[in-house]
């Protein structure tokens, strides 16, 4: 193990602790102080659900005017033209109509708000804007952050002020490292025999990161051979499809079909990852459904909310397979990007095994969008 990797592993618990606490504060509607190694600092508040009074409070605490940072994709859906190569766009709240913060963050609430803003609302993106938006994403909220940059004269820069002292701190560097740290610290915490319909010889192994965050599951069917590539399905959780039997997607079919295919093959593993809605979370997936009902396809809906079309990461999957002693797989998937992602994480994909199911009247457009825009092979 190289020295740099060892240092990262040693720092993982502190990284996870800092980011999880900050994300929790944002979900409670409280601000956090974001800093970086260059000395930049800002107070950050999640835009989702933030009342105007809270924005006023943040301005008073920071002593500087508030701005709204959104992803470039969200800005485009609002009719704005982000600067070339920009990941995040910043808007001056002082120039926006009252009550607009929630609407700018959530397109399901104010579909005509784009008619009330213009390029004149754009300001130069300050340091930490991208990190602020990423932190809000990690909090499983809409990717929009209210920021109040701190300067040497800002009230909240003073360490002796009680309001400033009560604000949790997190760094840009910790946010950037969080996803890696969460994957590196996954630990097997439970292992039980769970006979399944169609696969009675199955057990479920639960993995949890050191911060106590979302657990990922490995469903092991039979006894995978050590001298041959293992049949594997990497499945992202889908509450609506897997549990409720939603017809809007093919997730339930893929989950049950994978269990059946692995059982018929004699052995294999299904990884069940806590990455609902291609990584945007259940609540945001429901918002995306609202936008789909207004005419957007599954990718456009995610992008209108401010997310990438697919926000999933596969570091946890690679870590889980490694801990299970699996380095070579035959992957049940229609998604070539998933093959590439696992390979990038050190897993050898020796074969892509097709894994598609008949469409229905409710998911036909969904499957067509995945094929034409994400390159899924059906």
Residues identified as active-site: 310, 312
Q: Pull the structure tokens for residue 288.
A: 């995306």
178 by Cβ neighbours in 10 Å (0-12 / 13-18 / 19+) ranks as buried
In the chain, what is the straight-line distance between the N-terminal and C-terminal CA atoms, in Å? Answer: 41
Task: For residue 355, give every residue at least 6 positions away whose Cβ sits within 8 Å of its Cβ, in sequence order, or none.
Answer: 233, 254, 257, 258, 261, 332, 333, 334
For residue 1, the SS3 value is: coil
Ramachandran class of 168: left when φ > 0, alpha when ψ lies in -120 to 50, beta otherwise: beta
The torsion defined by the Cα of 340, 341, 347 and 350, in degrees rounded to 10, comes to -30
Q: Pull the structure tokens for residue 287.
A: 């918002």
Q: CA separation (Å) from 372 to 71, 110, 133, 315, 340?
A: 24, 29, 29, 26, 18
φ/ψ (deg, to 5) at 244: -90, -15
Q: Which of 341, 339, 320 is nearest to 330 (CA)?
A: 339
φ/ψ (deg, to 5) at 309: -60, -30
Residue 103's H or E segment, with its range, is helix 100-105
Q: Are 35 and 88 in contact (CB under 8 A)?
A: no
Cα separation, 82 vs 4, whole angstroms:
36
Q: Pull the structure tokens for residue 86.
A: 């920009």
Q: Pull the structure tokens for residue 197.
A: 């319909």
The gap from C-alpha 349 to its chain's centroid, in whole angstroms, comes to 24
Q: Are 23 and 46 in contact (CB under 8 A)?
A: no
Q: Pull the structure tokens for residue 209.
A: 């990161």
Q: Pull the structure tokens for residue 177.
A: 């490292």
Provide the 10 A C-beta neighbour count for residue 96.
17
> Which DSSP category does 266 fall into?
S
């Amino acid at each position: 193990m190289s020295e740099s990797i060892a240092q990262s592993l040693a720092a993982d618990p502190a990284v996870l602790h800092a980011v999880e606490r900050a994300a929790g504060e944002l979900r409670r509607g409280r601000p956090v102080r974001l800093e970086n190694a260059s000395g930049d600092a800002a107070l950050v508040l999640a835009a989702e659900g933030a009342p105007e009074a809270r924005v006023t409070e943040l301005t008073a605490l920071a002593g500087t005017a508030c701005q709204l940072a959104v992803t470039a994709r969200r800005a485009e859906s609002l009719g704005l033209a982000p600067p070339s190569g920009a990941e995040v766009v910043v808007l001056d709240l002082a120039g926006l109509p009252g009550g607009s913060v929630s609407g700018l963050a959530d397109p399901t609430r104010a579909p005509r708000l784009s008619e009330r803003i213009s390029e004149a609302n754009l300001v130069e993106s300050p340091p930490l804007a991208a990190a602020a938006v990423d932190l809000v994403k990690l909090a499983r909220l809409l990717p929009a952050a209210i920021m109040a940059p701190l300067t040497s004269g800002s009230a909240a820069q003073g360490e002796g002020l009680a309001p400033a002292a009560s604000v949790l701190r997190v760094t840009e560097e910790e946010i950037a490292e969080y996803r890696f740290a969460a994957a590196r610290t996954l630990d097997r915490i439970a292992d039980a025999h769970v006979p399944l319909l169609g696969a009675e010889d199955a057990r479920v192994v639960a993995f949890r990161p050191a911060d106590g965050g979302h657990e990922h599951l490995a469903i092991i069917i039979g006894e995978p051979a050590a001298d041959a590539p293992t049949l594997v399905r990497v499945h992202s959780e889908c509450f609506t499809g897997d549990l409720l039997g939603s017809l809007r997607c093919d997730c339930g079919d893929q989950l049950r079909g994978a269990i059946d295919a692995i059982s018929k093959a004699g052995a294999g593993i299904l990884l069940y990852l806590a990455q609902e809605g291609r990584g945007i979370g259940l609540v945001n997936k429901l918002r995306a459904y609202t936008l789909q009902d207004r005419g957007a396809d599954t990718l456009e809906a995610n992008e209108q909310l401010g997310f990438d079309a697919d926000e999933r990461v596969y570091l946890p999957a690679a870590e889980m397979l490694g801990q299970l002693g699996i380095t070579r797989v035959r992957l049940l998937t229609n998604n070539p990007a998933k093959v590439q992602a696992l390979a990038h994480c050190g897993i050898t994909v020796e074969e892509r095994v097709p894994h598609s199911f008949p469409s229905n009247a409710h998911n036909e457009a969904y499957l067509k969008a995945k094929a034409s825009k994400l390159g899924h092979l059906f």
